[in-house]
Amino acid sequence: MALMETHYYSFSMGSNVTLNVFVPTPTSSEQITDMNRNEKYDYADGLPVVYLLHGAYGDEFSWLRYSNIDRYAQDHGMIVVMADGALSFYQNLRDGRKFEDYFTKELPEFIGNVFPASKKREDTYIAGFSMGGYGAWYLGLAHPELYAKAASMSGALDIVGLYETSGHGSSTDNNPFNWENSFGEKLQHLKGSDADLFALYDQDVAKGCVPKLYQAVGYDDFLYQSNLGVRDRLQEKNADLTFYEGEGGHEWNFWDRQIQAILDWFLQK
């Protein structure tokens, strides 16, 4: 396996950025044959790629520190890209940092030209937890032409409800998010805006291009009831949604278990 910490200048961010990119390579326990290489290490045609997002207070090292993502990605023969989303909700911020553009335009171009990643939509996936769960669905639904599937774990998916209950304006000790910086004028009409996942989903249906969705939440998660509400609304829309609920809370044991199931789901055709 190859794990590369990469630094380069990002025009979207206006600064140097750090990426962690995992690329599967043959391990010592594998018998290397032409068949094995062609099936699992097809670098020429490109390997499936997952963009893996973090939650609040996280960064491009979160998944490496707290999960076994490198081993799971190796077993699945998938490239994993981990980049810093700060506290942005993966939006283009008022302060000039353009996280949405970075993740959906600049980063895929960079990854596709530097690493042996497939450029096909059907091989490109996105997943995240908490704020990153919203980010995965947001980027997936806002750019359905890029991603075949989008997965949320413990996601802050009901952005309208979250904004109404968590306080407004600048970040505080109890609320890490600067809503004005992330959503700007959208806050005046957040419901139905292009930050509202339900509005984005309806737009994708109208265009005839919708990524498949995966949603997981633990019984003890403080976002459990909110996630049930999201599930119910999407089921009413007959969305192609895979839903999982089970033991666990808003914590890494749950996310580490779920990412294994999600990688399996990504590869199901």
3-class secondary structure, 95: coil
Mean pLDDT, the chain, rounded, equals 93
List the CATH code of the domain at 2-267. Answer: 3.40.50.1820
| Model pLDDT for residues 217-255, shown as the tens digit of each residue | 999 999 999 999 999 999 999 999 999 999 999 999 999
**pTM for this model (two decimals):** 0.94
For the chain, what percent of residues have pLDDT higher than 90?
Answer: 86
| Model pLDDT for residues 91-141, shown as the tens digit of each residue | 999 999 999 999 999 999 999 999 999 999 999 999 999 999 999 999 999
One-letter identity of residue 12: S
The residue-averaged pLDDT of 79-88 equals 97
Structural contact between residues 215 and 227, judged by C-beta atoms closer than 8 angstroms: yes
Domain boundaries, given as residue ranges, for the chain: 2-267
Question: How many CB atoms within 10 Å of residue 157?
Answer: 26
The residue-averaged pLDDT of 36-44 equals 74
